[in-house]
Amino acid sequence: MNLRKAELRDVPALSELISRFARERVVLPRTISDLYENVWEFTVAEEGGRVLGCGALKFYSQELAEIRSLCVEPGRESHGVGTALVERLLDEAEAYGLKSVFALTLVPDFFRKRGFHQAAREKFPMKVWRDCTSCPKYSNCDEKAVALDLAERRARRTRRVPRAASQPPAPVLST
């Protein structure tokens, strides 16, 4: 599996994948023009040239972004595709110097396993104003807000126990 930033040629596959989940009311729909305009937000997981999953990092300020449109091809959900995409998006958020990342999700446990904590939706008024008020589920929303402090993520990584000097390094695997 290869992870990379999305390109214009990926938009039809992104549209098909996102539309499938939007019909199930799992993610918000995205128009094809919106995808072309914002393709730079997306990271894709591909294998053999086929898009297996996608996720976008939507910026709200110099400190805050949202992981959105996280979709994995049916049948590939338990193969690490979603985890790899989230980790890559979090790495990108750190590279931009952001302080925190949030998501609105129907599967908060997926995000909790990756260090996110439940958060109040009211902490993200820009998101609510931009997307939620026009959502058909607005008055009866079943999504949970989760957030991750990126400083905590960095601290967790630095607290990991280093390998013993006599132990050989693990092989590098391509993602």
Q: How far apart are CA 111 and CA 66, in angstroms?
A: 12
- CA distances (Å), 5 to each of 15, 54, 81, in order? 16, 10, 15
Encode pLDDT of 76-119 as tens digits: 777 789 999 999 999 999 999 999 999 988 888 999 999 999 99
List the domain boundaries for the chain: 2-153
Answer whether 106's CB lies under 8 Å from 72's CB.
no
Checking if the pLDDT of 51 tops 50, the result is yes
Q: What is the pLDDT of residue 116?
A: 95
pLDDT surpasses 90 at 45: yes
Q: pLDDT over 70 for what percent of the chain?
A: 82
Q: How far is CA 39 from the centre of its chain?
A: 14
**Does the 2-153 domain belong in CATH 3.50.50.60?**
no
Read off the pLDDT band of 160 (50, 70, 90): low
Q: Could you write out the DSSP letters of every residue in the chain?
A: -EEEE--GGGHHHHHHHHHHHHHTTSS----HHHHHHTGGGEEEEEETTEEEEEEEEEESSSSEEEEEEEEE-TT-TTTTHHHHHHHHHHHHHHHTT-SEEEEEES-HHHHHTTT-EEE-GGG-HHHHHHTGGGSTTGGG---EEEEEEHHHHHHHHHHSPPPPTTSPPPPP---
- Backbone phi and psi for residue 57, each to the nearest 5 degrees, phi listed first: -115, 105
Share of the chain above pLDDT 90, in %: 58
Q: Structure tokens of 110?
A: 């997926």
Q: Is residue 64's pLDDT more than 70?
A: yes
128: left (phi over 0), alpha (psi -120 to 50) or beta: alpha
pLDDT value, residue 125: 64
**What are the tens digits of pLDDT across the range 7-35?**
999 999 999 999 999 898 888 889 999 99
- Evaluate if residue 167 carries a pLDDT over 60: no
**Average pLDDT in the 60-70 region?**
94
